[in-house]
């Protein structure tokens, strides 16, 4: 798959096949993509906790408050991304420039994660609705959880949806 094939194929999965687990080699490829993602000062200010089995069920439950993300219960894996401390140079840059580089770096890492998952034939959904305290306890982390990502195989009846995106003319401008 080339990049545009991956970008077109990737979507937020809303129906997983609960009987089909994720092979270790595919999980390792997805995690390696996270490791290779660029970050400010190469600091990688995040940690990924892989939740599977009973931990995946508990993580899914922590993401399903108020009826949200019910499909997460069928995902065989949940990847919980928590924030870590900046490296000194990125901390200095963040303070001097007023930028939240950690959030940017986590977003880039998750983009790499979801792209590699798609290349591996897996499906994902990025979750921002979750109970931070429950996920911290489950994952044994003391820093804020920023995102959770469901990972698995889409059920056969989870259709591919066409992309609804703004035209480039609304997203890009040129200056000479």
Residue 26: its pLDDT value, please?
98
Residue 162: its pLDDT value, please?
92
CB 102 within 8 A of CB 95: no
DSSP-derived letter for residue 37 is: S
pTM for the structure as a whole: 0.95
How far apart are alpha carbons 143 and 110 in whole angstroms?
18
SS3 16: strand
How far apart are alpha carbons 93 and 131 in whole angstroms?
30
Residue 1: its pLDDT value, please?
85
Residue 112: its pLDDT value, please?
98
Residue 16: its pLDDT value, please?
98
Low-confidence ranges of the chain (pLDDT < 70): none
């Amino acid at each position: 798959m080339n990049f545009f094939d991956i970008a077109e194929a990737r979507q937020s999965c809303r129906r997983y096949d609960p009987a089909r687990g994720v092979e270790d080699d595919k999980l390792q490829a997805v995690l390696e993509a996270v490791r290779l993602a660029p970050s400010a000062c190469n600091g990688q200010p995040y940690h990924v906790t892989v939740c599977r089995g009973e931990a995946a069920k508990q993580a899914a439950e922590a993401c399903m408050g108020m009826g949200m993300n019910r499909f997460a219960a069928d995902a065989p894996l949940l990847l919980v991304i928590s924030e870590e401390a900046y490296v000194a140079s990125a901390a200095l840059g963040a303070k001097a420039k007023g930028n939240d580089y950690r959030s940017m770096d986590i977003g880039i890492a998750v983009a790499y994660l979801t792209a590699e998952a798609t290349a591996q034939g897996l499906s994902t959904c990025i979750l921002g609705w979750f109970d931070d305290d429950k996920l911290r306890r489950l994952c044994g982390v003391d820093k804020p959880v920023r995102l959770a990502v469901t990972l698995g195989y889409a059920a056969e009846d989870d259709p591919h949806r066409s992309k609804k995106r703004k035209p480039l003319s609304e997203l890009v401008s040129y200056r000479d």
